Chain A
Amino acid sequence: MVDSHLSLRSVDIEFTIYGVHARSIKNHILRASTGGVIRFSNNSRVIVNALNNVSLDIKSGERVGLIGHNGAGKTTLLRVLAGVYEPVRGSMTRIGRTSSLFDLSYGFDPNSTGLENILIRGMYLGLDRATILKLRDGIAEFSELGGYIHIPVNTYSAGMLMRLAFAISTSVSPDILLMDEWLAVGDANFQKKAERRLLDLIGGSGILVIATHSLAIMENVCNRLIWLESGYIRADGPFREVKEEFLAAHRG
């Protein structure tokens, strides 16, 4: 396994809001308790500063939790790590095969069978045809969908779809695993199996980054915690320390 590494240098992420004129909302901007920083550029465009001058390094073996209020920038940061948003300023470097478990069922064709969707979705994951065909039976078995795997997925319930999507998305062990909220998939039985697989994946991966509001979940899994606030890193360090800081700030 390659020595995975994630690195951000002074990254700024800004979203220009099109179709809204600064004039119409300037009067309404007050200090908000949620969201990123809203500011106005020279030519009256409205800009949301989702991340501000964020620098960090994540090395192999680190399991990082992201915590913060709604709109603090957790999902944006995950997407930067996933390579979705190119930094407006600054740079991002990533080494290691990466799996983002954000939208599990993207690319599913309702009229194709479960088996066919495994092939299609597997290709979206970046696997070649031969590899997918080898993994296919294992995926079908893990999903416990039985005969349903041979019929179109538009006959599946939502829970069944998620099982299949989960089975496919977690069929390969990546070097870097990115998660936005812990996955709760399927009924109680399946959920236990899914948890085990997630923990296996995390154990096998070089790096985990997960955003969640639940300190309890992260307690089990993370060794480092980053606290984001309005696009800035407020705290970044060993899990216990930052957790104490975070709880202290929210007490009273």
Chain B
Amino acid sequence: MSQAYPELNLSGDPKLRAEAALTDLGRGLRDWPFWTLVGWYDIKQRYRRTTLGPLWITASMGMLTAVLGIIYGSIFHLPIGEYLLYLAAGMVCWYFVSSTIMEGATVFIAADGIIKQNAIPLSIHVYRIVWRNLIVLLHNAVILAVILLMFGSISLLNPLLMLTGVILLAANLTIIVFVIGILSTRFRDLPPLMGNILQVLFYITPILFKPTQLPESMKLIAYYNPLYHIIEVLRRPLIGEVPPLVSYIGAIVSLLIGGALAFGLFRRFRGRIAYWL
């Protein structure tokens, strides 16, 4: 994007860091034609020469959901249709979360070549990852559509709620990627560690089970879990329900707190990232 930005000012002066960070974030957003196209090509590349193409993700998620749905549905003694729907919606959202965060851990490491060649806004790499995982989310939504058709509640879907949910979830994930990405570039044991953390979080966060199934003493792992809320704002609309207000508040609060943390890190370390690679 050096062609697109003919003016560049870089300085070691700490007072100018906030402005430089904001410039980077803004220029990155303005370059959306670039990262939306390249993000799309990332997905295309993954599925070249495969038979199912992007449907591979959908198929494998579908299988996993079906198997878990049947087994855990019977363990929990829940009506199969209702549980399957809850599980599928949760899995689709969780996949978006974990895949974005895992890829986010190596966001700058993977872009080493281009970061060392040209001064393009660093935020572009973050937006690209969130975008391509959004594309995958849309593919996976196909499973949900199938289940909704089978258990008959497509008419309950509210597009506005779904869109709001997607935006809130994507915005929160963008912020998480900034934080994890910056820290992982400096501390290289973080990416594999994130894998372990996400695995644990999968079992703690109500995806396989509903929070109502938890004993009172354990309910806080749901209600005080920011991931639970940022997932709820999308999961509920996906099954035709309305997310509770507390989840919207939770999602927005984590957006604000996470955003402040992410901006703080980005402002301080944006200029150091190239040195860490």
Contact = CB atoms under 8 A, between A and B. Distances in A.
B9 A86 contact: no
A112 interface: yes
B34 interface: yes
A95 B272 CA distance: 23
Given A85-B274, A129-B37, A79 B49 contact: no
A96 B34 contact: no
A94 interface: yes
A170 interface: no
B1 A92 contact: no
Nearest to B116: A84
B45 A100 contact: no
A84 B118 contact: yes
A157 B41 CA distance: 23
Contacts of A12: 12
A97 B118 CA distance: 11
Contacts of A82: 2, 117-119
Given A86-B10, A90-B11, A94-B8, A16 B114 contact: no
Given A86-B271, A106-B117, A123-B37, A174 B3 contact: yes
A154 B188 CA distance: 31
**Interface range for B:** 35 or more
Interface in A66-119: 79, 82-100, 102-103, 106-107, 109, 111-112, 116
Nearest to A174: B3
A234 B227 CA distance: 57
| Interface core residue of A15, A16, A83, A85 (most chain B CB under 10 Å) | A83
A247 B8 CA distance: 36
User: How many A residues are at the interface, by size bracket?
Assistant: 35 or more
B48 interface: yes
A88 B12 contact: yes
A204 to B, nearest CB: 14
Given A91-B10, A123-B37, A129-B33, A84 B45 contact: no
B26 to A, nearest CB: 16
Nearest to A175: B6
A40 interface: no
Contacts of B119: 82-84, 98
Given A96-B6, A106-B113, A86 B11 contact: yes
Given A86-B271, A123-B37, A100 B117 contact: yes
A128 B45 contact: no
Find the residue from B116, B271, B274 having the highest chain A CB count within 10 A.
B116
Nearest to B16: A91
Chain B binding site: helix, strand, loop or mixed by DSSP?
Answer: mixed
Interface string A24-40: 00000000000000000
Given A103-B113, A120-B38, A120-B41, A83 B118 contact: yes
Contacts of A103: 113, 116-117
Contacts of B271: 86
B275 interface: yes
B2 A99 contact: yes
A126 interface: yes
Interface string B91-121: 0000000000000000000000111111110
A105 B9 CA distance: 27
B75 interface: no
A124 B6 contact: no
A87 B116 contact: no
B19 interface: no
B3 A172 contact: yes
B32 to A, nearest CB: 11
A97 B272 CA distance: 24
Contacts of A172: 3
B13 interface: yes
B274 A97 contact: no
A127 interface: yes
A2 interface: yes
Contact of B12 (A83, A90, A97, A125): A90
Interface string A169-203: 00010110000000000000000000000000000
A98 B275 contact: no
Contacts of B117: 82, 84, 100, 102-103, 106
List 6 tightest A-B contacts by C-beta distance, closest first: A83-B119, A126-B3, A86-B271, A91-B11, A126-B1, A106-B113
9 contacts: A84-B118, A95-B8, A97-B4, A98-B119, A100-B117, A112-B48, A124-B114, A127-B3, A172-B3
